[in-house]
Structure 1
Amino acid sequence: MTTPNAFFVPAGVSGDGHERVTATENTISLWAPTMQHGAPPSALLVRALARVDARGDTRISRVAVDILGPIPVADIEIRAWTERPGGNVELVVAELWAESSSGSARAVARGSAWRMRTTPTESVAHTGDPVMPPVSSGVDNTFGGLWASGYLDAVEFKFLTELGAAGPGEVWAKPKPVLVLGESMTPLERLFSIADIANGVGAKLPIDRWTFLNTDLTVHVFRVPRGEWIGVSAETSTGPDGIAMCAGTLSDELGPVGRIAQTVLVRPRA
């Protein structure tokens, strides 16, 4: 069967009226064929966070995603609500639910977002991070071996640095599939369909000797991205006790749009 050109396909609604989608092979992580890469479900959470009690005069400014366990390549239920309403600032929350191996449903990922009321500030706009080299200077890359996965195959890459090189890793990337079949991606959905690769882009550990799975991601977005390409500049700092942190900058072709941080669990391979 041909894989749909999407990370998820609509699967109706649950008995409680919650939207359901089915994850496709395009979501598969490099760590296991049964679990999703963190990027597609992060984008799915952002989709829900933007839609719940939507207001045209606000936008998402910060998203915190917690991965509560392996997110299966299976049917996913989406739940979202407004946690804290407000005129200028509001907090919205979304969860992704799936069946466990025992057949019981549980939350596998949770996202929260601050949505802020917008107002014109073009006259004082400022960017504090350096601009990445252009997409045209990147080198095409396809993954294989231990780096092979459905998700990585579903993304087009232009590498500015080699994986594991000294200093921040830098890459331009864009998803080939849409997020949900039959829909066009919003700019923030596109951003989050890529953002979670920061951990891999910034990694310094050889993947044949170590695993490094991020348990979360926090992204601050000071400008809504434009265009198809998302730039990631990131580097991971590893502590002496199996815990690491990846931090980086997210960009579009006009310049930086936000920053990302991830907590990383580091373990030697058996």
Structure 2
Amino acid sequence: MPSTTAFFTQKQGELVPAPHARGPWSPDMLHGRLLGGLAARALEERHAEPGLHFARLTVDLFRNSPLLPVAVETTLVRDGRRIRVADAVISTDQGVIGRASAVLLRQSEQPGGEQSIVTPAWDAAPPEGEPVTSEGWKPPFDLWRLTEWGAPGPGRVWLRETYPLVDDEPVTPFVRAALAADFASPLSNVGTNGLGFINADYTLTLARLPEGELIGVEATGHLSAGGVATGQVTVHDTAGPFGFCAVTAVANPIALISR
């Protein structure tokens, strides 16, 4: 395990990134997964309520940002008896770099009967042995590949966070899911020549929150034409599938990631 140095330190209302908050595309660019995590953290802190479940989180990543202090503002859009909607805006002193929208739904008694279609649990056991290592950018989280990178067929990985997101705060299940969801793009959009797409957003839908530290991601679809892609994954924990994630992505062949 690495040191417990968090990705961000909170100082005077801003979140100051550590060097390992960078992403794989550029040595001075904030990783998009962390913006989704920060949005989830702020939305959960300010708008969560017992009995209301975070059923959807959409994160728009429309502007790259260097490693600058980040601020997250949230707005309550709708607060009804069974639904709550809240937005988040993520910004630096250079302007807005992303936004997010969350839908919280009131939990209640599960309807009777059987569903006509149910996503099955995958057959992947919890990982054994050391996480993968790679040349170049090293993921600041534990990663176990169950399939070869870029091989034909559905890709599968297990992920585990190894750093706190902010200071020494525990990573909550919702934030953990938001961080893992960004891996939907590389897993669903990788090709035999490597990863030639960079995602512009992701939408995570959750029937329940994940249990434990391990999150499995399984690619279940990819379509692309004219340099525009859409991909989808199923997210699992050791108890079974708990949600889906869909992404849109744009071709980025100059910075193609091959490993």
Relative to the length of structure 1, the TM-score reads 0.85
Instruction: Say if 2:93 is the partner of 1:107.
Output: no
Q: Give deviations 1:103-155, integer Å, cap 9, x for gaps.
A: xxx1111000101111243976978223231123687311213xx14xx1x11
**1:90 Cα deviation after fit:** 1.2
Match of 1:214 among 199, 207, 210: 199
Task: Decide whether the 8 Å contact of 1:204 with 1:236 is kept in 2.
Answer: no
Instruction: Say if 2:31 is the partner of 1:34.
Output: no
Instruction: Say if 2:185 is the partner of 1:199.
Output: yes
**1:182 Cα deviation after fit:** 1.9
Task: Decide whether the 8 Å contact of 1:62 with 1:113 is kept in 2.
Answer: yes
Task: Name 1:159's counterpart in structure 2.
Answer: 145
Task: Name 2:105's counterpart in structure 1.
Answer: 116
Would the alpha carbon gap of residues 139 and 184 (structure 1) be closer, same or farther in structure 2, given more than 3 Å must change?
A: closer
Task: Name 2:135's counterpart in structure 1.
Answer: 144
User: How far apart, in 2, do the equivalents of 1:45 and 1:124 lie?
Assistant: 36
Match of 1:183 among 169, 172, 196: 169
2:217 aligned partner, one-letter code: V
**1:222 Cα deviation after fit:** 0.5
Would the alpha carbon gap of residues 169 and 82 (structure 1) be closer, same or farther in structure 2, given more than 3 Å must change?
A: same
Residues 157-166 or 50-59, more deviating: 50-59
Would the alpha carbon gap of residues 125 and 177 (structure 1) be closer, same or farther in structure 2, given more than 3 Å must change?
A: farther
Task: Name 1:103's counterpart in structure 2.
Answer: none
1:8 aligned partner, one-letter code: F
Task: Name 1:131's counterpart in structure 2.
Answer: 121
User: How far apart, in 2, do the equivalents of 1:226 and 1:46 lie?
Assistant: 17
**1:68 Cα deviation after fit:** 2.1
**1:86 Cα deviation after fit:** 1.0
Would you say how many aligned residue pairs link Structure 1 and Structure 2?
Answer: 251
Would the alpha carbon gap of residues 125 and 91 (structure 1) be closer, same or farther in structure 2, given more than 3 Å must change?
A: farther
- Aligned residue for 2:76, secondary structure, equals strand
> For structure 1, which runs of at least 5 residues remain unmatched after alignment?
14-19, 101-105
**1:3 Cα deviation after fit:** 7.8
Residues 50-59 or 248-257, more deviating: 50-59
**1:73 Cα deviation after fit:** 1.7
User: How far apart, in 2, do the equivalents of 1:172 and 1:269 lie?
Assistant: 28
> For structure 2, which runs of at least 5 residues remain unmatched after alignment?
none
Relative to the length of structure 2, the TM-score reads 0.89
Instruction: Say if 2:159 is the partner of 1:169.
Output: no
Q: Give deviations 1:183-209, integer Å, cap 9, x for gaps.
A: 1111011111221012112311523xx
Would the alpha carbon gap of residues 139 and 261 (structure 1) be closer, same or farther in structure 2, given more than 3 Å must change?
A: farther
Task: Name 1:50's counterpart in structure 2.
Answer: 44
Would the alpha carbon gap of residues 235 and 28 (structure 1) be closer, same or farther in structure 2, given more than 3 Å must change?
A: farther
**1:32 Cα deviation after fit:** 0.6
Task: Decide whether the 8 Å contact of 1:215 with 1:262 is kept in 2.
Answer: yes
Task: Name 1:62's counterpart in structure 2.
Answer: 56
Task: Name 1:257's counterpart in structure 2.
Answer: 242
User: How far apart, in 2, do the equivalents of 1:136 and 1:21 lie?
Assistant: 33
